[in-house]
Amino acid sequence: MSYNVAIDGPAGAGKSTIAKAVAKSMNLIYVDTGAMYRAMALYMLRKGISLEDTEEIIEKCPQADITIRYENGVQVVLLNGENVNEFLRTEEVGSAASVISPIPEVRRKLVELQKNLAAQRDCIMDGRDIGTCVLPNAQLKIFLTASSEVRAKRRYDELVQKGVEGDLSTILEDIKERDYRDTHREESPLKQAEDAVLIDTSNMSAEEVISTISRMCRESREQ
């Protein structure tokens, strides 16, 4: 039986950064669910499907086989057997992913693929509905959060480090809007699983969070 860790939480909580670090320290596969949605968007773009044509997107969705594996320590996203890493981070693909991701049939298809992947490999996944929908039987569930103000400041600092201009108040409003959308959407809304451990990182360093979750992983594996 595979060992699974689910990390959920709102935008800007540091889920991906923490999950990647914990995966490395605990020898787990990190499953980037966001990259899987981008791969699905890439498939639709390559097929020339209009992003406004929801019916055709739903029709073509089952034809996309998306999975993740590691080659020389690097995560590789496969779309029908092709390594599509180099195509996933374009603005076009990112925008398309944001359009198709709320479609229930798309979400169900990717949840199915994520479940299959987790059944075969020891892994850690992060997202909005991992502990509640994707991995309801995960041996360890974490709900990672921080105040909206702290999350906005972290995003702002990231932009500054990259040399990108950003307005802190605008970022804060964007995070609050995303929180509302994520918690109120009909399909798989963001919420803490009943058996998830709540970790508020507002006053914790990344190293403290990684250490805490890694310790919890070791303890849950020993049970």
Query: pLDDT tens digit string along 67-103?
Result: 888 888 788 999 999 999 999 988 789 889 888 988 9
| Half-sphere exposure of residue 67: CA atoms within 13 angstroms, side-chain side | 13
According to the model, what pLDDT value does residue 130 have? 93
Residue of 10, 7, 11, 12 whose CA lies nearest to 157: 12
Residue of 1, 19, 5 whose CA lies nearest to 135: 5
Is 19 in contact with 209 (CB distance < 8 Å)?
no
What's the whole-number mean pLDDT along residues 187-212?
Answer: 93
Q: Which residues pair with 126 in a beta bridge?
A: 7, 32
Is 15 in contact with 126 (CB distance < 8 Å)?
yes
How far apart CA 147 and CA 201 sit, in angstroms, is 8
Residue of 20, 126, 112 whose CA lies nearest to 75: 20
The pLDDT tens digits for 121-151 are: 899 999 888 999 999 999 999 999 999 999 9
Q: What's the whole-model pTM score?
A: 0.82
The pair of structure tokens assigned to 157 is 């600092």
Exposed, middle or buried by CB within 10 Å (0-12, 13-18, 19+), for 170?
exposed
The pLDDT tens digits for 28-63 are: 989 888 889 999 999 999 999 999 999 999 999 999
Four-residue CA torsion sign, 100, 90, 43, 37: negative
Residues shown for the chain: 223
In three-state secondary structure terms, 9 is coil
The pair of structure tokens assigned to 147 is 């105040």
The pLDDT tens digits for 9-26 are: 988 898 989 999 999 999
Is 68 in contact with 32 (CB distance < 8 Å)?
yes
User: Rounded to 10 degrees, what is the CA torsion of 23, 24, 28, 34?
Assistant: 50
Is residue 185 very low, low, confident or very high in pLDDT (cuts 50, 70, 90)? confident
Is residue 188 very low, low, confident or very high in pLDDT (cuts 50, 70, 90)? confident
